[in-house]
Chains A and B, each alone.
Chain A
Amino acid sequence: METTTTPRRLPRNLILLITLGILVLVASSMMPAGFFSWLWDRLNVFATVFLGIFVEAVPFLLLGTFASGLVEVFLDRDQMSRWVSNRPAAAAVSGAFMGMIFPVCECGVVPLTRRLFKKGLPLSAGISFLLAAPVLNPIVIFSTASAFGWGEMLFWRFAISLGIAVVTGLIFSVENDAGSILRPVLSAHEHDHDHAAPGASFLEKTRKALLITVDEFFDMGRYLILGSMLSAGLQTFIPQSALLAIGSGPILSVLVMLLLAILLSICSTVDSFVALGFVNTFSFGSILSFLVFGPMVDIKSVMMYVQVFKRRAVFYIVAIPFMMSLLTGLIFNYLIR
C-alpha cells in the first residue's frame, strides 16, 4: 500500500512547497528595506533567549524527573499515607514544606508532583507543594539571601509564598474526586515498569527509576521546549523596556512585574538576581510580587501544568496565585512601604 500512495503524495507536497516558496518570494519583495536584517537580528535574539531559558531549566527538569523516578520505585502508597496527614489544612501546610526535602524549581516540581499524586498524595498537599516548593527550598532561600540579604525581602517572599500555596491547596481540598482535576496521562513505557517487583534488588530498582526518569524527561521536556519557545518569542517581540516604561505607579508597577514574571520564565533559583536589577526602578511590593508569583506561574510551567491537570484546575492554579500576588504587591505599595 505504501509504495502505491507515495507517488501520489509527492507531487501534491511539491506543489505546496513551490506555492509556499513563491508566496515567500512575493511577500519578501513587498517588504521594506532592512526587514530581513531586522528579522535576522530578532531571530538571533530569539535563539539566544530560548537557549538561555531552556539550558537553565533542563537540569532542574532532569532533577525533578529523577526524583519522580525514585519516588515511583522506592515509595509506596502506604508510606505516603503515613507521612502526609489526611486533614486538608495539615496536608496543605506539610505539602508546602516538602520543598525542603525535594529542592526542585518550577520545572522539576511538575513531574514530581504528578508522581506523588499517583502515590496517593492528597490534592491539597500536592497543590501546595507544586506552588511552594520552587520557593520554599534551601537553594532558593540561599540565592534570595545572597541577592537581598537576610532581611525583609527574604522573609516576605517565603511567608507570602507559603500563604498562597496553603490557601490554594485548601481550595483544592474541597474536591474529593482527584480524577476530575488530574489528567489520566501516563507514558506507554510506564505501564511496563510501573512498580518494582517486591524483593527486587537495589540495582534493579535504580535501573527502573532511571528508565522512568528518561521517559518522563522526554515527556515533559517537549512542553518545556514549547514553553521556552513561547517565552522567548514574547520576549523577542515585546521588549522589556516597553513594559518597564509603563510600569510606574502602585498598580501598574505590580501588574508589569507579574507580567514580566510570566514572560521571563526564569528559574526560581536565580530569579532573585534578576529582581535585584529592578530594585532602583520598581517598588518593594512590585518586586516582591514578581518573586512570589514567578516561581508559581510562568509560560513554561503552565505548559507543563496542562499536561498534569485539567484546564479548569490549571485556571485556578494560575488565577488564585495571580490575584493573591497582585493583592500582596498592592498592599505593600499602598499601605506598608
Chain B
Amino acid sequence: MKFRLSLDTAAVSLLLALAALVGFVIFIGEQAGVRVRVDLPEDGVVGPYQTITFTFSEAFDSEMASSLIFLDPVQEGYLEWTDTYTLRFTPVQAYQKGVTYRLLVDAGETASGGREVKQAQTWSFTVREPRVAYLLMQENRNSIWSVNVDGSDPRRLTDETIPIISFDAAQSGDFIIFTSPNENGGVDLWRVSREGGDSSMLLNCGFDRCTTPAVSPDETRIAYSREAAGPTPDIPFGSPRTWVLDLENGQDGPVYADQQILGYNPTWSPDSNKLASFDGLSDTIHLIDFQTGEHFLFASNTGGPVTWSPDSMKFLYTVYAQTESGGRSQVKLADLSINESVTYIGQKDTYDYSYYSIAWSPLAERAVLSLRVNDRQLTQALWVFNPAMLDGILVASDPEYTYNSPQWDPWGDRLIFQQFKLRGQYQPEIGLWQGTATEAVLLTQGIMPQWLP
C-alpha cells in the first residue's frame, strides 16, 4: 500500500517539530546564560583612547552589569550605556604604552530577576604606536599622509584628485576629518579612515565654506567654521560662524543663535562638553558649555589657539596688551570654576616674546609655548615648561628655524611641530622631540602635523 502524506499530517508534523525546536533552543539558551560580546580588534592592538563596547545578549541593569566588568591594570574612565544592550567604556587618559591590559567580564546577574552571565570571560589588549598625519604638497595639491614616528612607512591617505585645505584627526586615531573645495566654490567636510584610500564626503556645504574642523574627543560631533556664500557669486562670503555637525543623528547647525557672534578655529575641551572659538569682530573667545548651557567670554585679540588643561576646567590663550614698556604678547590662564582669567606669562616682560602657539599636554604638569628667545631674533623657539612652576627648557631653538603648531602625543611624552628654515629655498618640515632626548629631530617634510594615535 502506498502511503500518501496529507496536508494536515505534513503541516501538523512541521508545527510539532518547530515547537520541539523552540523548546530545545530555549533549553540550550538558558543553559548558556547571558552572552557578552566585546568589540576589540582581532589582533588585540588598540588605539591609546580606544572605546570598548560591551554588547549583552539581553537587556541589563546598568549598575549590575557594570559591576561585572574589570580592567587590569586599572584605568580611569567612564562607563555609559548607549541602549539597554550596550555599555561603552571610554578612558579618561590614554592606556599605558607597553602594558598588556586584561579585561574581565565576571559571572553574575546582569539584571535583577534576570538571567546570569554563566562563565567569566577575559580579553587582552595592548596599545599601538601612534603615527603622525600631515599635509604634503605635490603638483600644487595637498594630500594627507601618515608616517611612523621613526620616519618610516610614509603612506598617502587621500587620493591625489582631492585637494585638502585642513584636517583634524580623531582622538582614537581611527579616522580623519578634512576639508576640500568643491565645484561651487564652497568647501565641504570629508572623512577618511586611518588606513586611507576610502575618502567619503561627510557634509556637502554647497556654496558655503566649511573650514577648520575639530573632532570632539568623544568623536560624536564635528565643530567647524562656516562662511555663508553671498547671494550672488560676486558678493564675498559672510563672516565665519561656529557650527556643529552631530555624527550620531546628522544634525547640523550653528552653535550660537545670535548672528552677531562669529567663530573661528573651534577647540573642544578634553571632556567634549565645552567648545571655544575665536570671534575676530569683537576680539573675544566665546566658550559654551553644552552640558550646562553656560556661555563664557574672554577678551583676546590674537586669534591664536586655545589649549585646555586635562581636567577641562582651565585653558591657556594669548593676548596682545599695551603695557608701560610697550606692546607685549601675554599668555592668559582662564579658570572656568571661578570664571576668571589672569595674566599667566608675560606680565613684566622686558621685551615682546611674541608668544603664540601653545599646547597643554595630557600630563597636567607639562605644556609647550612658542616664543622669541631674545629681542634681536625674529624666529620662534619651543619652550617646554611646567605650568605650575613656570620653569622649563628650550626643545627647539635653532635660530635658523622658526617653530610653531606643537602637538603632544597621547601620553605627553613626545612633541611634533612645524618648522620652517627662514633663509633660502626650503620646504616646510615636521620636527619631533622625544621627551628624553635633548635635541629635536627632523621627522619628514610637510605641514600641519597631527598625531594619529
Contacts and interface: CB of A to CB of B under 8 A. Distances in A.
B297 interface: no
A319 B15 contact: yes
Contacts of B7: 171-172, 174-175, 180-181, 312-313, 316
B161 interface: no
A264 B266 CA distance: 46
A320 B7 CA distance: 12
A249 B29 contact: no
B14 A320 contact: yes
Contact of B84 (A174, A280, A324): A280
Nearest to B16: A323
B29 A330 contact: yes
Contacts of B111: 248
B58 A248 contact: yes
A327 B57 contact: no
B15 A330 contact: no
A175 B6 CA distance: 6
B15 A320 contact: yes
Given A249-B114, A250-B58, A335-B32, A327 B25 contact: yes
Contact of A330 (B22, B35, B83): B22
A330 B14 CA distance: 17
Nearest to A316: B11
Contacts of B10: 171, 174
B393 interface: no
A323 B59 contact: no
A251 interface: yes
A323 B15 contact: yes
B201 interface: no
B55 to A, nearest CB: 8
A324 B25 contact: no
A333 interface: yes
Contact of B85 (A174, A181, A283, A326): A283
A16 interface: no
B28 A327 contact: no
Contact of B29 (A175, A283, A335): A335
Contact of A250 (B37, B57, B83, B84): B57
A55 interface: no
Nearest to A177: B7
Contact of B14 (A171, A251, A333, A335): A171
A331 interface: yes
A323 B30 CA distance: 19
B25 A331 contact: yes
Interface string B55-93: 101110000000000000000000000111100000000
Contacts of B35: 337
A104 interface: no
A79 interface: no
B19 interface: yes
Interface residues of A, number: 30
A153 B19 CA distance: 25
A280 B82 CA distance: 8
A155 interface: no
A251 B25 CA distance: 10
B8 A312 contact: yes
Interface in B106-123: 111, 114-115
Nearest to B59: A248
In this complex, the member of A171, A180, A313 whose beta carbon has the largest number of chain B beta carbons within 10 angstroms is: A171
B26 interface: yes
Contacts of B338: none
A20 B41 CA distance: 72
Nearest to B12: A316
B61 to A, nearest CB: 11
Contacts of A167: 14
Interface string B139-150: 000000000000
Contacts of A248: 58-59, 84, 111, 114
A334 B29 contact: yes
A18 interface: no
B32 A174 contact: no
Interface string A250-286: 1100000000000000000000000000011101000
Contacts of A175: 6-7
B21 interface: yes
Given A281-B83, A326-B22, A327-B21, A335 B28 contact: yes
B18 interface: yes
B5 interface: yes
A313 B6 CA distance: 12
Contacts of A313: 7
Nearest to A251: B26
Contact of A320 (B11, B22, B26, B115): B11
Interface in A307-326: 312-313, 316, 319-320, 323-324, 326
A324 B57 contact: no
A331 B29 CA distance: 8
B22 to A, nearest CB: 5
Contact of B18 (A181, A281, A323): A323
B323 to A, nearest CB: 57
A313 B11 CA distance: 10
B29 A250 contact: yes
Interface in B27-43: 28-30, 32, 35, 37
B248 to A, nearest CB: 12
A333 B57 contact: yes
Contacts of B28: 334-335
Nearest to A248: B59
B390 to A, nearest CB: 50
Nearest 8 A/B pairs, CB to CB = A334-B29, A280-B83, A323-B18, A175-B7, A316-B11, A330-B25, A248-B59, A174-B5
Given A250-B57, A330-B29, 17 more contacts: A171-B11, A174-B6, A249-B115, A251-B26, A281-B83, A283-B85, A312-B7, A313-B7, A316-B7, A320-B15, A323-B18, A324-B18, A327-B22, A330-B22, A330-B26, A333-B29, A337-B55
Interface of A: 167, 171-172, 174-175, 180-181, 248-251, 279-281, 283, 312-313, 316, 319-320, 323-324, 326-327, 330-331, 333-335, 337
18 contacts: A171-B10, A174-B5, A175-B6, A180-B7, A248-B59, A248-B111, A249-B58, A249-B115, A250-B29, A312-B8, A313-B7, A323-B15, A323-B19, A323-B22, A326-B22, A333-B57, A334-B25, A334-B30
